[in-house]
Structure 1
């Protein structure tokens, strides 16, 4: 009798070109979720995903409404009652392609050059979704499913998934599962299979500082009225000390320290100072003293200014003393930090430091807890063996500096762990012009996902 695993792997290899052409069709849909003008395209992308799932053997498949963009949901059951249930998460929306003049080809006109496929969404995350659907199809066409499989594919990830929590709450019984497979992650390098086991949380605010009731002439009133832009800059400058530590009162009280085992595991990652300098183009690195760059990225909390706005910013000169100044501020949080507590710490800092010559307010915009996945979870170990089989070397485990809210929401609302994988690379230009997907890595990923289903399911 033919081994179903080997049949599925052969199916992937025989149909790889077709899968790539289907991915190109998917990428041609400009499903930009943040732009109302693209709402018809977002809806088209949802229909495309639903039809593609049906073609892969998922039944039933539904397009479920939310107060924003719809969610595509589907199920496929294994004949084995004792089989685990894998909930596959993904998103079909993409970032805006701007600035268009920096693209070397149309952002929604997929182009293969060398080993790379260029298009908006190629890596984040239509390519990852296509790999998962293709791997499922190969398994479904090669014998009994080793696991029950559910698909949850949303259209608002790139705008913060504002309607997903309500959807999860409304459909929690339907979404019940053993584990979630989330391919919205990536690898450190083409030859370094990677499993992400930690994600930082997020607390996002807008700080507004007000001075006079209206803009003033800086010659007539400068030196008499405190400039809100200057006050804001001084407040921001004081949010870090000389060692790169955040100065908000109590900010580090709940920070879980790294264990020696984790520090040793993170030290295995091939990402040193040179790696970050090459990736960023920065003249030198900066950050909290006493920690390596990879530790600061994934396991230590940070505070960053994401945007500043005040006064006159157009071409030429205008001597204005602005009436207000604004800053977008994000804090990446680590396990045990609470976004609500961080908000209170920011308020205490401002109450202690802000001068009486200005008024201020803080607007809360997002709050998500950090999450750590148990590296010994059976699904994580199934993925580890899958990656080692395909790449011929054990994967490295890393903590991701970014935030994926669905991972935290699934853990808090459904009690479900997530296995984070993906086959994007650091130089894929996510959210930037000339986004790309490295096709040899993607092809390996198809086979690794096939192995995952068999490793984790009933065979």
Structure 2
């Protein structure tokens, strides 16, 4: 158990060592660990080796372990006693591709601290936020604890993967094969964000994901529209009519049974969210929009965080090249994703969508479906003891009450930790909505990095004193 004076000494160490922390982050950001492109496989391995060596320097038994894809890191603190709360920290070292390169203001793997348009200091590089900067806040907090006290205040295992950006398809088998080494009381995930640049948040729910591709076929070849137009069925017309009916005039999804099992927010949580006053002007105006497009009887914050959605992510059919070509396409396809919430079954949503499409096919048309992804939604226990401890620690660091918020995004690994390891997760991150993750000019606020480290220092101390569940 740490004393207030000891905690302050660790925080002071973070401040004194911050320039070196930034240099260590820059060294990691320079490694081109793009998991989606096989050309960067050696860089992914280099990132794993680099991180493992750095974590080992803090007194961890750190190993780079093979998976069926890019390697993972497992590191166990040598001071683990078995009698203290035991946390499993998760992060990922892989990053998204940088295309289109011409839209970057500087080379994506040459990190730099520069000025944001509003005067904030920011770190710009691919991976600056997602997830190298985020995981580094935790590693640097551990470094400060070890430097000042020689140990960590609780038992700790770190696992870092290299395929999060490509779906973690090899990571679940890795979890299964390494259950014993990854045993803990709860997990910590640093891949989420703040409410705003000065207000910390803990994510307590994540929407799940169902991603489907549908292909509608008619004639056995593309047809001349002058000869067959008006007489032959057009798959593009059929597809767009079906897709256009997925929502009603109030923004609700029309698939039968879609809302089965969906619950309203608890009244006290809804009251808290209302006070946040998320408006169309603040949320949509920066992206050139002004009118919320979800269920019109719901708050905007509900639409993006706690309500299920259906989005058409792409449509392909017919001639799309330069100039004109008057054809009736033989087939047309679309990719459709559903963000689902607690109470919805991914397989039932998939089957309901397929039934919806099939029931609306005219004669001479058939449909083929491809399942790209499905993951259940996650809802954490609002009264989870480690969550309450982390909330207090964040509030102490930022001087503002840490919010408990829902996320409209999906982090499948959280469900994997629960299903495979039996662990609930506390999701804490310091990213911001304008960090451009997965886009050119990705950034991470310098304050997010600095106070993120300080936050984890406080959280580790708080978790050491909290009940395990």
Give the alignment's TM-score, normalised by structure 1: 0.97
Shift of 1:2: 8.8
- Determine the C-alpha separation between the residues in 1 that align with 2:294 and 2:215: 26
Counterpart for residue 449 of structure 2:
442
- Determine the C-alpha separation between the residues in 2 that align with 1:377 and 1:149: 19
- Determine the C-alpha separation between the residues in 2 that align with 1:414 and 1:370: 17
1:51 to 53, 60, 81: 53
Shift of 1:141: 2.3
Q: For this pair of structures, how many residues does the alignment match?
A: 458
Checking the alignment, whether the CA contact within 8 Å between 2:281 and 2:290 is kept in structure 1 is no
1:13 to 12, 15, 20: 15
**Taking structure 1 as reference, are residues 79 and 95 closer, same or farther at Cα in structure 2, changes over 3 Å only?**
closer
Q: What does the per-residue CA deviation read over 1:61-105, in whole Å, with 9 as the maximum and x for residues that have no partner?
A: 111111111111110044654211110000000111111111110
Counterpart for residue 206 of structure 1:
213
In the TM superposition, structure 1's runs of 4+ consecutive aligned residues that sit over 4 Å from their partners are none
1:351 aligned onto 2:358: yes
**Taking structure 1 as reference, are residues 327 and 294 closer, same or farther at Cα in structure 2, changes over 3 Å only?**
same
**Taking structure 1 as reference, are residues 79 and 42 closer, same or farther at Cα in structure 2, changes over 3 Å only?**
closer
Checking the alignment, whether the CA contact within 8 Å between 1:73 and 1:151 is kept in structure 2 is yes
**Taking structure 1 as reference, are residues 188 and 2 closer, same or farther at Cα in structure 2, changes over 3 Å only?**
closer
Shift of 1:284: 2.5
Tell me how large the CA RMSD over aligned residues is: 1.5
Q: What does the per-residue CA deviation read over 1:286-313, in whole Å, with 9 as the maximum and x for residues that have no partner?
A: 1112101101111110010111111111
Q: What does the per-residue CA deviation read over 1:37-84, in whole Å, with 9 as the maximum and x for residues that have no partner?
A: 1111111111111111112221x1111111111111110044654211
- Determine the C-alpha separation between the residues in 1 that align with 2:388 and 2:409: 23
Shift of 1:405: 0.3
Counterpart for residue 124 of structure 2:
118
1:148 to 149, 155, 165: 155
- Determine the C-alpha separation between the residues in 1 that align with 2:103 and 2:423: 41
Q: How does 1:192-271 map to 2 (within 5 A)?
A: 192-271=199-278
Structure 1 unaligned residues grouped into runs of 5+: none
- Determine the C-alpha separation between the residues in 1 that align with 2:141 and 2:200: 18
**Taking structure 1 as reference, are residues 2 and 426 closer, same or farther at Cα in structure 2, changes over 3 Å only?**
closer
Shift of 1:433: 0.8
2:334 to 327, 339, 360: 327
Q: What does the per-residue CA deviation read over 1:194-249, in whole Å, with 9 as the maximum and x for residues that have no partner?
A: 11111000011111111111212222212111111111111111111111111111
- Determine the C-alpha separation between the residues in 1 that align with 2:79 and 2:269: 37
Checking the alignment, whether the CA contact within 8 Å between 1:5 and 1:142 is kept in structure 2 is no
Checking the alignment, whether the CA contact within 8 Å between 1:184 and 1:420 is kept in structure 2 is yes
- Determine the C-alpha separation between the residues in 1 that align with 2:315 and 2:287: 21
Counterpart for residue 86 of structure 1:
87
Counterpart for residue 40 of structure 1:
42
- Determine the C-alpha separation between the residues in 2 that align with 1:455 and 1:344: 45
Q: SS at the partner of 1:419?
A: strand
Counterpart for residue 22 of structure 1:
24
Checking the alignment, whether the CA contact within 8 Å between 1:213 and 1:323 is kept in structure 2 is yes
- Determine the C-alpha separation between the residues in 1 that align with 2:286 and 2:241: 30
- Determine the C-alpha separation between the residues in 2 that align with 1:27 and 1:356: 55
Checking the alignment, whether the CA contact within 8 Å between 1:16 and 1:443 is kept in structure 2 is yes
Checking the alignment, whether the CA contact within 8 Å between 2:262 and 2:341 is kept in structure 1 is yes
Counterpart for residue 135 of structure 1:
141
Counterpart for residue 284 of structure 2:
277
Shift of 1:391: 0.9
Counterpart for residue 102 of structure 1:
103
Structure 2 unaligned residues grouped into runs of 5+: 116-120
**Taking structure 1 as reference, are residues 86 and 292 closer, same or farther at Cα in structure 2, changes over 3 Å only?**
same
- Determine the C-alpha separation between the residues in 2 that align with 1:339 and 1:207: 17
- Determine the C-alpha separation between the residues in 2 that align with 1:363 and 1:429: 30
- Determine the C-alpha separation between the residues in 1 that align with 2:424 and 2:183: 12
- Determine the C-alpha separation between the residues in 2 that align with 1:133 and 1:270: 34
- Determine the C-alpha separation between the residues in 2 that align with 1:371 and 1:199: 5
Shift of 1:269: 2.6
Shift of 1:285: 2.1
Shift of 1:280: 2.5
Counterpart for residue 62 of structure 2:
61
Shift of 1:429: 0.7
Q: SS at the partner of 2:17?
A: helix
